[in-house]
Structure 1
Amino acid sequence: MTVPLSTAELPPVDRSRPAWPGAEETIGGVRLHVRRTPGTGGDPAASAVPAVYVHGLGGSATNWTDLADQLSGHAPGLAVDLPGFGRSAPPTGYDFTLRSHVATLIRVLRGLDGPVHLLGNSMGGAISLLTAAEAPELVRTLTLVSPAVPDLRPSPKRLSDPRMVLAMLPVVGRRSREALAAMPPTERARRMLDLCFADPSLVSEERVAESVAEYAERLDMAWSTPALAASTIALIRSWLVVGPRSLWRAAPKVTAPTLVVWGDKDKLMSVRKAPRTARAIPNARLLVLRDVGHVAQMEQPDTVARAVLGLWDAAAENRW
């Protein structure tokens, strides 16, 4: 079925807009750094349901700045930094598995007032899918942007730096880890933008500067690189899981109306996985965007916002 695009009035996309204000908060007994966006109007019934945004591997809450801006007139927003990412220090002993991230997100959602509109990108999409499957009462609608479903095709294009493979090895990877750690923030940001965007030249100067600043900030966070490495390994291991704990077996348990968004130029998660993902979720529809990469919510926030609002409106009227 086609995805209805809302005709609601939305603000112009402002790619110079600074990140939404952030602070450490304790929600559901979990201490995380979060960025909040206000609900400033729109339909009162829709505004009563908050939107929760979950970033991908190596990302942070700032990945949702533009989409949250588009949706802020329709629902209050909460973008989280998962443990070990952004500005959220991981608790002692945190193992960075998908299951631990899911458990963290479920605790956060239980600490909010009622079910939410849950949106996840990449690894955050996998976490959101598993959350919706395990705790359906917490999720009003689900939006998955290039979710990290199992995709084991070997391709060097999926890495911002080929040395990342060696860096994950316990002994021989030391030299690669040191080389990666010594890479200037500007180079790290450039490589990540090249990987995630279909056309990196379209990224605004402000967003590039934000990315560079985030990488510079992470240099002072002792847990940042280990968290990224551990989460990467855990994500790949989750793709190897078969049986009842696999992502593909979890997908049919999702009961929330679901929107799956994919870019046809995604270098990280092949768009060939998009139809299977949408078919695996009982009440899902698929939107494939042309000339878009791995982070559609950053590349085309206005189109994604209209699709999300179409989902919210249709779900409210039980016509999704």
Structure 2
Amino acid sequence: MQNETPDLLSHGAHEVAVDGLEQRYHVHGSGPVCLAVPGGPGVSWESLRAPALEEFLTMVYVEPLGTGGSRRLPSHPDGYTRERHTRSLTGLLDRLSLPRVFLLGHSHGGFVAQYVALHHPDRLRGLVLYESAPVTGPEHMAEAATRVEEFVHRNQGRPELPAALAALQSVGAITDDEKITEALRGLLPIYVAHYWDREDEFRGLRETITCTYVSSLDENGEPEIIDDRAALPKLTVPTLVVVGRHDVICGPRWAEELHALIPRSRLVVLEDSGHLGHVEEPGAFAGAVRAFAESLSE
């Protein structure tokens, strides 16, 4: 296995078998290894690519099970629990012969990253919870609804606003890949702090981002409701929490709660970002991650 590792960490796309299922990932950059888990669930790995991080980290962008080129579970679109994703990620670390790495989880990927850190702290050098939250369910949805109302108030009068809101409202009824991709592209302006003022910068992302439909149900058809608030005070992995000031999905309230719950964590608020700070404020985002990573090398 040791002899395989250099090839498995060469730049480009790779596939390995983990628990008998193909796991696809992409390697870019140089430096300490950082596994990056995208959000959604089901959003394409390219949406999380951060070239500014690749200047000082070897970024291993994971295509989670059921997404992109990674194998779908027999129970697809159900069964993609945090425990199942964690088995896949730790199995990938075993295949790569990597004892301890940085782990960056964005949005839903942050929920997965929290689970990995709580159950396998020995595998992690540091944790970056990026636009994450300690809970899902009704409380999380109510906060998101409040944040969407604030977004509407800030963008009142924009002719494109009704279409973006309609796309957001359609998500709950969608169960196929083509329509969930269409909805994601339609609602993307809500995820960005100043989309319509910077439309030329983000048009390419909006036109190319894709999504696989993945449910929030376990293999028995039951919803996986997350509440890590009792467990997070026991987290021992050094943690950086990053949030965009204008994020409507996992906004500052949740970042501040994560920061308060996790011992000795650091909190960075990106003042001009929504849910996608790595493309909205790439310099500030990368600077925060670099300072965190370098502090753990001292």
Q: Is the 8 A contact 1:126 1:149 kept in 2?
A: yes
Q: How does 1:297-316 map to 2 (within 5 A)?
A: 297-316=278-297
RMSD, aligned CA: 3.0
After superposition, where does 1:69-84 map in structure 2 within 5 Å? 69-84=51-66
Within 2, Cα distance between the matches of 1:182 and 1:300?
Answer: 29
Aligned residue for 1:51? 34
Say if 2:45 and 2:62, in contact at 8 Å, map to a contact too.
Answer: yes
1:61 to 39, 45, 50: 45
> How far apart in 2 are the matches of 1:182 and 1:119?
28
Q: Deviations over 1:93-145 (max 9, x none)?
A: 36112222222222223333220011111110111111011101111011111
| TM-score, with length taken from structure 2 | 0.76
CA distance in 1, matches of 2:18, 2:278: 25
Q: In the alignment, which residue of structure 1 is the partner of 2:142?
A: 153
Residue 77 (structure 1) shift: 1.4
Partner letter of residue 164 of structure 1? Answer: V
Structure 1 stretch displaced more, 260-269 or 152-161: 152-161
Residues 230-255 of structure 1 deviation map (CA, whole Å, 9 limit, x = unaligned): 48xx997423xxxxxx3112322321
Bigger shift: 53-62 or 156-165? 156-165
Give the counterpart of 1:199 among 185, 194, 201. Answer: 194
Structure 2 Cα separation of the partners of residues 204 and 25 of structure 1: 37
Higher relative contact order (CA 8 A, sep 6+): 1
Once the two structures are superposed, what CA deviation does each residue of 1:48-73 show, in whole Å capped at 9, x if it has no partner? x31110101142211232x2x21223
Which residue in 1 is equivalent to 2:225? 238
* Gap runs ≥5 in structure 2: 1-10, 150-164
What is residue 153 of structure 2 aligned with on the other side?
A: none
User: Are positions 1:96 and 2:80 aligned together?
Assistant: yes
Q: Name the residue aligned to 1:22.
A: 13
Q: Is the partner of 1:249 in helix, strand or coil?
A: coil
CA distance in 2, matches of 1:299, 1:56: 17
- Residues 107 and 263 of structure 1: is their aligned pair in 2 closer, same or farther, counting only changes over 3 Å? same
Match of 1:138 in 2: 123
Runs of 4 or more off by more than 6 Å in structure 1?
none
Map of 1:272-287 to 2, 5 A cutoff?
272-287=253-268
What code does the residue aligned with 1:163 have?
Answer: S
- Secondary structure, counterpart of 1:238 in structure 2: coil
Distance in 1 (CA, whole Å) between partners of 2:284 and 2:241 is 13
TM-score, normalized by length of structure 1? 0.71
Which SS does the other structure have where 1:141 is aligned?
A: strand
Question: Alignment partner for residue 276 of structure 2, among 284, 287, 295?
Answer: 295
Distance 1:25 1:104 in 2: 11
Runs (5+) with no aligned partner, structure 1: 1-19, 40-46, 168-175, 219-223, 240-245
Give the counterpart letter for 1:274 in structure 2.
A
Write the distance in 1 (CA, Å) between the matches of 2:246 and 2:94: 36
Structure 1 Cα separation of the partners of residues 222 and 62 of structure 2: 19
Question: What does 1:112-191 align with in structure 2 at a 5 Å threshold?
Answer: 112=96, 113-150=98-135, 151-153=140-142, 155=145, 157=148, 160-165=167-172, 167=173, 187-191=182-186
| Aligned match for 1:37, one of 28, 34, 44 | 28
Asked whether the 8 Å contact 2:131–2:243 carries over to 1, the reply is: yes
Instruction: Give the match's secondary structure for 2:142.
Output: coil
- Equivalent residue, structure 2, for 1:248: 229
Note closer, same or farther for the CA distance 1:82–1:119 as it changes in structure 2 (3 Å cut). Answer: same
The answer on 1:269 being equivalent to 2:250 is yes
Q: How far, CA to CA, are the matches of 1:92 and 1:295 in structure 2? A: 32
Amino-acid identity (%): 25
Deviation for aligned residue 1:265: 0.5
1:29 deviates by: 5.9
Kept after mapping to 2: 8 A contact 1:259/1:285: yes
